[in-house]
Each structure stands twice: as structure tokens, then as C-alpha cells.
A and B are shown apart, each in its own frame.
Chain A
């Protein structure tokens, strides 16, 4: 079985109270994989290609306990690179944000990532 890299990253995201927060996940480096988004333990959306996902109202998210988790399973299929990346773009905050998890794997490696976004 190919080696599986795991990584978790925890970030804070300062929202605008009146704004709708949107997240977009991209499996980068031209690699193949899938992502899922959850707010707390509630499943929101999953896919293999980037897609804007509405997460909720800024104030509600900031005052609640649930965090956004973007989880990804990435597979190295590229001969050009062995990098395995997950990029999450966030909108609806005081500033736009791009959060990245990236690792160099062996050829054919897998990566299992979780990005935890804490709304403030």
C-alpha cells in the first residue's frame, strides 16, 4: 500500500458579521483526490473539483462552537511532481484568505488532510 501522509491544520478566520461565508477547496498540483466540508459534525458538501460552498452567516459562525472542517484525500498521479496539496479559499471575512496544506510525498503516495477553520 502506498504511504499516506496525514496533516491537520488549525486556523482562525475573522468574519464580517453581516457577510455570508463561502469556502472553496481545491486539490492542487493537478493531482487527483476528493474533499468534503463539514460544519461541526454536519456534512455540507463533497467533491473532486473546486466548488464554492456556502457555510453560513458570519456572526452566527463566529458566536457558535462549530468549526468548518475541510477534509481531503489526495493521490499522487503526476509524474511531474510528488507534491500533494489542499488549498482552501475563504470569503466573507475581514480579509480574503487562502489556507494551504502541502507536502512532498513519494511517487504514488496518498495524503489525508484536515483543515479546521475556527470562525471569530
Chain B
């Protein structure tokens, strides 16, 4: 049977956007920024809102802030320590004031900023509500461009503005347990244990005692095990050689009388740092000697990386982002630009998969909010010799529309393929597209295509 890794996602989302930021903007600033929007943003957003989107464009984005702003940064800062995060966020501070940095692309997971030494692979790979916050990612993006604005005298002058978007994404239903590489690759668990074993210091009691010997503070041992009378006697001995010999004899007597207590005192008097330096060198040598086994281990993990690692079962993602415009990069000169929310509900099974997706987006155009809700459905059934795919996308537009504009539009597409011979597939696609203002029947817009070649139904979601 052909493996199917497509997912079915349904999107049900609600995402609240705080309005405090917009309310803080003065009326004058609102007027000024609204004029700019009409010039630079309005046309693109209006045109985009008229068309039914591609199915892939409404899926929950991995970086919602980048998607909302329409940027594809080539370099993304990904801080993963508190210090790196503080440095990255430091770009929002200029002197003693807040500012909006130019062309910033930042993505981080709050949970992973800090260390989690107690988080085992089984805990993280399982289906656990705590993975909702463990999987949370925050994305921040800015884009700077020219901006025409009105000065105090009413004249139009050239300036610049920076758009800032902040987004968040997480997975709230995680499907089946993710199997570790040790379960998926034959011999990997055994090799891991072998290497852990081979690189163990594995010190016998005798060897331990020998290694510790140079680091024992015998004064400290004597202080612990000798009686007050013995200590007083040693104090009275003036000759240092004689004193050392007598102390040795006393300690030996205590060792014979109570080896356990003596050993305890001796162990407590070992300088652990000194011992560590010796063991570190030995450990490094063991790792060098295990070089070949470690290389084999790397090879097994590489094999694991090539295997399908996606979780099966039900999966649900949610994401949201909002964007604002900042004249001259100043926080005080700000206005809302747009916001959006996404969600997917998917089912991924052996030989069949499906995804339901939803996206709601609102954009502020010429001072007025326009919005659209997109719903998408894709189902795939795949077998060794054939595959079928059904895709449906609908859009509902919200806000004041022109007289010739449709509030609802949709697209349907059905694709099928059959393996005629090894490597050659007969593919058939059939679809209907209901454009704005041009209602038409399924049959008149039917589009039948035939082709031979590689499979066209790509089951991956």
C-alpha cells in the first residue's frame, strides 16, 4: 500500500486582538496613517480579497507574523537562551525610548528559552496538554518602506513607515505518540547503550582508591577520626618527621579498628575538583577510542531522519497574528494594519488522510476594515495503484463590498490517478472555479486534463 502522509485539517478559530494599542493613537495620527494606507496597502489587499485563495495559502503558517506581513526573510533570528532573547528584543530600545527596528525577523519558543533537563523524550513525544505551551512559537517581523504623509501645513511629504507583525502558533491536538528513533531504527537503541557503556569510566574500587589518593587531605582525615587525646599528643611532638610518622601510625590504627568510618572520613577529604580533572582526561580518551562506534551511531540517526517522523491520528494547530504600521518607526505614530487567525484539524491515517482548514483575516483599508473567512477541505485516498483527491475552498467576504462583487466564492477540484505501468501514471483533474461576479455552472467550467508521468496527488499535508 502506498504510504499516505497527508493530513486533514479543519479550522475553527477565534483569536482576540487587543485594541489598546489602537486606542492610544491620537486622532491626528490616525488621519495621517489612514491616508498612507490608501496609497500603499489598499489596492493589494482589495485585489487579494476578491480571489479564492490557493488551498495551501490558508493553512496554519509556521511563522504567522511573516505570513501576515507577506515577508520571506532569508535570515531569521532564533534566540534560544534568555541572554540571546534579551539581545534580540533590545533592538526595540533606542537610547531610553521604544522604537520599531527595521527589517527584523525573529522567531522563538518561550518554553525552550530555558533548560528542561527533566523533560524526557517520552514526555515530549507523547500526547500531553503541556505540549500546547511547549510547542508555542512567537514570531515577530518588521518591514520598512516609503510612506507619504501630511505635514503640519497640509503638504504631502516623503517619509517612511515600518510595519510590525507579532504572531503565535501552537499545536493543541498532537495525534499519536511520536516514536523515538530508538524504536524506529533497528539496532539504534542497542548501539546507544553500547556507546554509553563503552565510554563509561567503569572504575573498580581499587582503581578509585588509587586515583583519589593524591587528592586526599590527610589533615582533614586526622581531624575527623583522631580522638582529642591523640590530637593533643600530636601537638606536643616538636619534630615534624616524628610527628608525621606518629600521625600515620594513629590513622592506620583507626583504619584497622573501624575501616568503614575511616573510609568515610577519607572519602570526605578528597578534593573532587582534582579527581574530576583526572577523570575528564580519561573520559575524553574513551570517547576518542569510541570514535568508530559514535560514527555508526550518527549514521543510524541519519537513517532515522530520513524516515517519516510525522505523527499520525488527529492533529490540530492554531495560530494568530496582528500587524500595525509605525510612521518613521515611532511607537507613538501607530495604527492597526491587519490581523488574522488560522486553524487546521487534520487526520492522518494509513492510506487516507484529510484536512479541514479555516482562516479569518481582516485588513484596514482606507480607514475601513475589510475581512474574509476562508474554509478549505482536502481529502485523499491512496492505494498502491491509484489515488483520489478532493479539494474544496470557499471564501466569504465581510465588510462593504461593491455592487458587482460577490460575497461568496468557491473552488472545487477533483484529481485522480492510476498507475498504468511502473513509473507511469495516468492523471485526471476536474474542477470548478466560481470567480467574483461570474457565477457559472459546474459543467460549463469543467476542466478535464489528461497527462502521463509522475503522480500528481501529493498526499503530504
Binding site for B on A (CB under 8 A): 1-2, 4, 6-12, 26-36, 38, 40-41, 43, 46-50, 59, 62-67, 69, 71-73, 75, 77, 80-83, 85-87, 100, 102, 104, 108, 110, 112, 114, 116, 118-120
Contacts and interface: CB of A to CB of B under 8 A. Distances in A.
- Most-contacted residue by chain A among B118, B270, B284, B290 (CB, 10 A): B118
Contact of B275 (A10, A59, A102): A10
A63 B263 contact: yes
20 contacts: A7-B283, A10-B276, A12-B267, A26-B118, A27-B121, A28-B119, A32-B181, A32-B301, A34-B193, A41-B202, A41-B203, A64-B263, A65-B263, A66-B204, A80-B112, A81-B80, A87-B117, A112-B199, A116-B276, A118-B272
A48 B182 contact: yes
Contacts of B351: none
B252 interface: no
Contacts of A110: 294, 297-298
Contacts of A66: 204-205, 208
Contacts of B125: 30
B180 interface: yes
B283 A114 contact: yes
A59 B260 contact: yes
A36 B263 contact: no
| Size bin of chain B's contact surface | 35 or more
A63 B205 CA distance: 12
Contacts of B284: 6
Interface in B383-422: none
Contact of B197 (A27, A43, A59): A43
Contacts of B270: 118
B203 A67 contact: yes
Contacts of B121: 27, 30-32, 48-49
Contacts of A34: 182, 189, 192-193, 195-196
B283 A10 contact: no
A73 B202 contact: no
Contacts of A85: 115-117
Given A85-B117, A102-B117, A75 B297 contact: yes
Interface of B: 80-81, 109, 111-112, 115-125, 180-182, 189, 192-193, 195-197, 199-209, 259-261, 263-264, 267-268, 270, 272-273, 275-276, 279-280, 283-284, 286-287, 290-291, 294-295, 297-298, 301, 304
Contacts of B199: 71, 73, 112, 114
Given A6-B283, A63-B261, A63-B263, A36 B197 contact: yes
B403 to A, nearest CB: 50
Contacts of A50: 120
Contacts of B280: 6-8
A30 B120 CA distance: 5
Nearest to B81: A104
Contact of B117 (A9, A29, A64, A77): A29
A80 B193 contact: no
Given A26-B117, A32-B181, A110-B298, A120 B267 contact: yes
